[in-house]
Structure 1
């Protein structure tokens, strides 16, 4: 089965002799035919070989966030060691879960920063697993989580961080007229990409006709590297909380979220740090460069040399952690990685115009086999 997402994003790779309208129709037809026999039931987690058994562990949540509509969102918590200097509310990416933060969280906890990582609605063990709750509801969830944490810890600075989709959600939250008052927002390879007029039409049609049909990335005709850390990719693949198939409705929601986030960039409020890796194969450099140009004056930009999409899970992920920590604790200092200087040089070079290929990281099944 060919993933609908892959077809939408590869419209421009169809033969140029086919008209734009024809390309849309061809893409739509290919996806429709490929969906024959598709299941609407989420697949069970894969069973790892004995040597990878630890990668399939299910870690129970440390707490629940009970929200205004009665939903309970589970979260993992890594408590700060010693006197707490801050709290980091950490949001995962598309098809990922609270476990996305288990590699960097101990580092921050050791530096006196508590990390709270909830499952976002529709992901992990949160309600309506596999369904798209809508960006408005997801933003409201984060707003309520912020209020709960600030009520529980009125004297401790609260920071927000989000990876990929989580970063896009934070961009919507912090661009609103009623953006919450927090100590700062850290965006890690946020999912930002305006695909352009008409590019999402095939997906929109399919999601309307078959909203609950599932697509996967097992047959993608490309090789995408989300991280250079095989252990992290194995954990992502075998983690029982990871989603391995995606409803077309959820893909449509993600595409809309990316466009909304890119548009919201100029209106963001508060102290901001945005981190991007120059080896990111999921969020195109052109899309990120456009967002960097429109973020509010004073935003700190951090370009990580050799960094992939899953920045904190890369082999050099600690470099990103150090930058984040420095920005939190010494906001006027240069970043240890030199990423702020690299970002300025990168922008001056006018990043490559070629659009990249964007796929949810959890679709990279073949990398973990």
Structure 2
């Protein structure tokens, strides 16, 4: 028992707020979002230059990435009058305990806090949460909980929903054993896998990421385990979203298995909107056709009932047509 306890997956714990802590806030100049417990999470902000924003986006990035996920979308949205506050998840980017899994409990509470701060700073604005991959999974976990964030819109971009229930049993067993025997060991995908998988058609952007010191290039096994647990919760929670929701997916996504995405999309509430981008990869916000996605998100934030400006087909019928399924 002692051996198992010693090898249990590591999950971050809430910080003890410093004596001078005055509550959660965004500090754009210091590039910090001080969350509910005083944790100084990395923050990048893009705002309209000449006016108050009519909408605010809270941006959530994917695994091993950070707020620069929005470095192309943020300035474009700012030109449309939208402010973007993108923060680094715990253990990622510029946030503390880099590489150590932040845990669903803290990550969802950070999101609730960020939405509350945005509402306080921009009381008349629409508040939308835009999550990519792991960020989308975090958002689903928060919005499907008993204490959802007080946001007006939810946009799920290539959501990470590859949980235990859709993972091959051999993968799941290997991951569980690894996370409970040598959880601290860092792993990288084999070179063959990296060559075969293309996360985006924007090769210049991918090269930039490869040189970015804020990216995490090796992942602790217990962090992968934590991510899969989060993805399972997101997969299970997709049907319990009580906020106008858009689910965006690329037909060329090689990261999130098609079956997992379809399972989650089918469980969405009837009013949820879906879009399939035939030329889209996993990094929809940074692909070569990304402006199409940014424009659709802006349109959805403005009016969740209006057609997407791109005319992108709905995910389910289009995907079933592409795969020959009925």
TM range, smaller chain: 0.7 to 0.9
Is the contact made by 1:61 and 1:76 (CA closer than 8 Å) also made in structure 2? no
2:40 match: 72
Paired with 1:260 and 1:306, the residues of 2 have a C-alpha distance of 29
- Partner SS state of residue 216, structure 2: coil
Paired with 1:195 and 1:346, the residues of 2 have a C-alpha distance of 26
1:163 aligns with 2:132: yes
Matches within 5 A, 1:193-204: 193-196=162-165, 198=169, 199-204=171-176
2:206 match: 233
1:90 match: 59
Matches within 5 A, 1:252-263: 252-263=225-236
1:130 aligns with 2:84: no
Give 1:62 deviation, angstroms. Answer: 4.8
Structure 1, unaligned stretches of length 5 or more?
Answer: 1-59, 354-369
TM-score, with normalisation over the residues of structure 2? 0.85
Give 1:345 deviation, angstroms. Answer: 3.0
Is the contact made by 2:134 and 2:160 (CA closer than 8 Å) also made in structure 1? yes
Within the candidate set 145, 148, 168, 1:179 is matched to 148
2:160 match: 191
Within the candidate set 279, 294, 312, 2:285 is matched to 312
- Partner SS state of residue 349, structure 1: helix
Give 1:141 deviation, angstroms. Answer: 1.1
Give 1:348 deviation, angstroms. Answer: 4.6
1:274 aligns with 2:243: no
Paired with 1:277 and 1:324, the residues of 2 have a C-alpha distance of 14
Within the candidate set 112, 116, 124, 1:143 is matched to 112
Paired with 2:111 and 2:150, the residues of 1 have a C-alpha distance of 13
1:224 aligns with 2:194: no
Is the contact made by 1:92 and 1:164 (CA closer than 8 Å) also made in structure 2? yes
Moved more, 262-271 or 210-219: 210-219
Deviations 1:202-249 (A, max 9, x none): 111111111111101243445101000111101211111000000011
1:329 aligns with 2:302: yes
Paired with 2:133 and 2:206, the residues of 1 have a C-alpha distance of 16
Deviations 1:324-351 (A, max 9, x none): 1111123332112221x34253255385
Paired with 2:31 and 2:202, the residues of 1 have a C-alpha distance of 29
Paired with 1:321 and 1:123, the residues of 2 have a C-alpha distance of 24
TM-score, with normalisation over the residues of structure 1? 0.76
1:302 match: 275
Distance change (3 Å), C-alpha of 1:352 and 1:115: farther
1:110 match: 79
Paired with 1:315 and 1:350, the residues of 2 have a C-alpha distance of 22
1:338 match: 311
Distance change (3 Å), C-alpha of 1:336 and 1:239: same
Distance change (3 Å), C-alpha of 1:352 and 1:105: farther
RMSD: 1.8
Deviations 1:55-108 (A, max 9, x none): xxxxx9653222232211120000124241110000110000111111111100
- Partner SS state of residue 88, structure 1: strand
1:8 match: none
Paired with 2:30 and 2:192, the residues of 1 have a C-alpha distance of 36
> Max radius of gyration: which structure?
1
1:9 match: none
Is the contact made by 2:161 and 2:260 (CA closer than 8 Å) also made in structure 1? yes
Is the contact made by 1:61 and 1:75 (CA closer than 8 Å) also made in structure 2? no
1:292 aligns with 2:265: yes
